[in-house]
A and B are shown apart, each in its own frame.
Chain A
Amino acid sequence: MEAFMTHDGLVAPLDRVNVDTDQIIPKQYLKSIKRTGFGDYLFDAWRFLDEGDIGMTPNERRINHEFALNQPAYQGASVLLARDNFGCGSSREHAVWALQEFGFRAVIAPSFADIFYGNCFKNGLLPIVLEENIVSDLFSRAATGLNLAIDLEAQTVRTADGDVYPFEIDPGLKTKMLTGMDDIAMTLAERNLIETFERGHRAAQPWLFLRGN
């Protein structure tokens, strides 16, 4: 996983509440067995005016120029500004892969859905929770071009004007992001603990082990 320490980037606003993962990456693209190739289809039904399918490239699509991510001012944006409950719905991690591949390194919102939030930390996409009034303020400033400097170690988001917004983050998740360490390797380092637990669990509830080892 790519580590996340600091990031300085342009903000793209997505002014909608309850953006679900079906919108972030529609189902037809989930047929892929790979972890890559989703960036071209991010927010597919909003970015394009035609129905997309796996294998199509953006230059053969009809662009929706109204949609924020297609507007010239937000080209090259790497910080997505969103509303409440971003990433709700399906557990598809493809949503995170698509956001990253499109070029986003962080998403700022007043709240996130649980599964999406967890999936971000498996991939190095930083979800940042800021209070609703701050997010609203950032939305009004994003219209004229807003750059934000994110410092994960310091847990701050800073504007070019010098405004600084601190954010909260679980210490375990923070460490994981800063180091980019492999979750599985970390857990396997606790192999003895798991094996000990498993022996006790098997003794206590043997019916859970009927389908074999």
Chain B
Amino acid sequence: MSGQTLYDKIWAAHLVGERQDGNSLLYIDLQLLHEVTSPQAFEGLTINKRPLWRVGANLATPDHNVPTDKRELGFDGITDTVALEQVLTLDKNCKAFGVEQFEILDPRQGIVHVVGPEQGATMPGMTIVCGDSHTSTHGAFAALAQGIGTSEVEHVMATQCLVQNKAKNFAVVVEGQLQPGVTAKDLILTIIGRLGTAGATGHTIEYQGSAIRALSMEGRMTLCNMSIEAGARAGLVAVDDTTIDYVRGRPFAPTGDLWDAAEAHWRTLVSDDDAVFDAELRLVADDVVPQVSWGTSPEMVTGVDSTVPDPASFDDPVQREGATHALEYMDLTPGTRIQDIKLDRIFIGSCTNARIEDMRAAAAMVKGRRVAANVKEALVVPGSGLVKQQAEDEGLAQVFIDAGFQWRAAGCSMCLAMNPDKLGPGEHCASTSNRNFEGRQGYASRTHLVSPATAAAAAIAGHFVDIREWL
């Protein structure tokens, strides 16, 4: 019998039972909650008079539609009455059900996928769910973390379990070394470009290889975050010293003897040498170049040193049609140099790229320079109140402010533009977020997905630049 993958091990350790029909009942250790996908679930519990199965397995924070300016006003700063009702509903539900919440004025508030790891609520070997597809982020800790719908949120609230079929195993192996100026974001965009947006559907991806081992936890989170953009519900990275060192000392992490026991267990969270994967993609890290998306699906990416592709170059007629449609929407012409694309707005933030390392990488490009005149707005939105504080302490915030960026409070912000931060119709944005879908960042908005360093440099130049030439 062949060995087990990391996914197999976490699955087996949480398997409550298998039903006659083949579905499995999987125990969930942590559910993260936010204002958008939880109200209907709480309402369902209330109507059916069901309690939370385990209150302590839940953690909440408002993130999707909180404003990022005038945060000191708290609830009063939310001028959109419908959004306000939603944030107040989360607050009310958390109080009624006893769920721990980092409320709007708490310095620990932020994007759920930044907050969980930061607090040590995310631990290796856990099963984690959240009504948000970017829950895959937590896979960086060798936690099986999946985005779920609201009905499933309610199901986990009431039963602490998820009804699921086991996914297949997909290994993405990256050997070698990322070159200076090339980041985890460029790597994951390259991977999505290769796999396609449905390439890993039905699979859990495990990222392996020397280039992955060399990534920081921030980089691994960026990588796992966008697994869903390749169709995988979850992404994983095995535990090593980097993982252990990150978790140690965090507020919710175990201490003393319990830490020792936990660490010993966590060290086993790696795939066996003889584990068999159902699919595999191999990449050489040295070949990866800074990426820029040109279309309306995350698979539509290319190198910053490249040009906008010609739809005629796609063999598959459906893909060709998709590319034609995307270029029309993006108002781009085949053959245009990526570096000639002018930008109206810049967004540095989101659960993909709003951690301290991202702030540092962006600030390094900006230091001593000014945002270009053609850029109407350049936003930096840290992923949590604590990231914001740290960036201010390190002097990064001042670097951004001096260069003409706006320095905001934590939230999802312009990644999905549910709050007032959005693009105007037709505007092009260099964005460190995860989705370039039509209208994602505002009505008729045009998104280009990039790394924080590339976004920051684009703000300075007013168009895309190959940051390898800036180093």
Residue of A whose beta carbon sits closest to that of B16: A197
Q: For A212, list chain B residues within 8 Å (CB).
A: 55-56
**Measured between C-beta atoms, what is the minimum distance from B320 to chain A in Å?**
10
Contact present for B40 and A184 (CB under 8 Å): no
Contact present for A51 and B325 (CB under 8 Å): no
Contact present for B37 and A93 (CB under 8 Å): yes
Contact present for B151 and A122 (CB under 8 Å): yes
Q: Is B293 an interface residue (CB 8 A)?
A: no
Q: For B13, list chain A residues within 8 Å (CB).
A: 201, 204-205
Choose from A18, A28, A90 the contact partner of B297 (Cβ within 8 Å): A18
Q: Is A66 an interface residue (CB 8 A)?
A: no
Stretch at the interface among B22-30, B211-219, B363-371, B463-471: B22-30
Contact present for A17 and B318 (CB under 8 Å): yes
Q: If A31-B65, A33-B89, A93-B149 touch, does A115 touch B233 (CB 8 Å cutoff)?
A: yes
Q: Is A105 an interface residue (CB 8 A)?
A: no
Stretch at the interface among A4-12, A73-81, A147-155, A169-177: A169-177
Contact present for B322 and A16 (CB under 8 Å): yes
Q: Is A145 an interface residue (CB 8 A)?
A: no
Q: Is B73 an interface residue (CB 8 A)?
A: no
Interface size on A, residues (CB 8 A): 63
**Measured between C-beta atoms, what is the minimum distance from A18 to chain B in Å?**
5
Q: Which of B123, B149, B325 has the most A CB atoms < 10 Å from its CB?
A: B149
Per the 8 Å Cβ criterion, residues 19-56 of A in contact with B are 20, 22-23, 26-28, 30-35, 45, 51, 54
**Measured between C-beta atoms, what is the minimum distance from B316 to chain A in Å?**
9
Q: Is A100 an interface residue (CB 8 A)?
A: no
Q: Which of A34, A123, A188 has the most B CB atoms < 10 Å from its CB?
A: A188
Contact present for A187 and B155 (CB under 8 Å): yes
Complex: how many Å from CA A195 to CA B53?
10
Q: Is A213 an interface residue (CB 8 A)?
A: yes
Contact present for B123 and A201 (CB under 8 Å): no
Complex: how many Å from CA A193 to CA B159?
11
Q: For A85, list chain B residues within 8 Å (CB).
A: 197-198, 201, 231
Choose from B14, B25, B44, B443 the contact partner of A190 (Cβ within 8 Å): B25
Q: For A34, list chain B residues within 8 Å (CB).
A: 40
Q: Is B161 an interface residue (CB 8 A)?
A: yes
Interface size on B, residues (CB 8 A): 88
Contact present for A31 and B82 (CB under 8 Å): yes
Q: Is A88 an interface residue (CB 8 A)?
A: yes
Could you mark each residue 159-199 of chain B with 1 if its beta carbon is under 8 Å from any beta carbon of chain A, else 0? Answer: 11101010000000000000000000000000000000110
Q: For A188, list chain B residues within 8 Å (CB).
A: 50, 158-159
Q: Is A158 an interface residue (CB 8 A)?
A: no
Contact present for A171 and B322 (CB under 8 Å): no
Q: If A31-B82, A91-B147, A197-B16 touch, does A207 touch B258 (CB 8 Å cutoff)?
A: yes
Q: Which of B14, B48, B163, B444 has the most A CB atoms < 10 Å from its CB?
A: B163
**Measured between C-beta atoms, what is the minimum distance from B30 to chain A in Å?**
8
Contact present for A27 and B56 (CB under 8 Å): no
Q: Is B36 an interface residue (CB 8 A)?
A: yes
Q: If A31-B418, A201-B27 touch, does A187 touch B163 (CB 8 Å cutoff)?
A: yes
Complex: how many Å from CA A30 to CA B133?
15
Contact present for A213 and B56 (CB under 8 Å): yes
Across the A-B interface, give the 3 residue pairs with the lowest CB-CB distance, nearest first.
A172-B21, A212-B56, A122-B151
A-B contacts, 27 listed (Cβ < 8 Å): A17-B319, A18-B297, A23-B437, A27-B417, A31-B36, A31-B65, A31-B418, A45-B443, A85-B197, A88-B231, A89-B437, A90-B132, A90-B133, A92-B37, A93-B131, A113-B201, A118-B148, A118-B152, A122-B149, A170-B165, A171-B21, A184-B158, A188-B158, A206-B258, A209-B56, A211-B121, A213-B56
13 other contacts beyond A33-B86, A84-B318, with CB at 8 A cut-off? Answer: A16-B321, A45-B439, A89-B437, A111-B198, A115-B233, A118-B148, A171-B22, A172-B163, A188-B159, A194-B16, A197-B27, A211-B59, A213-B54
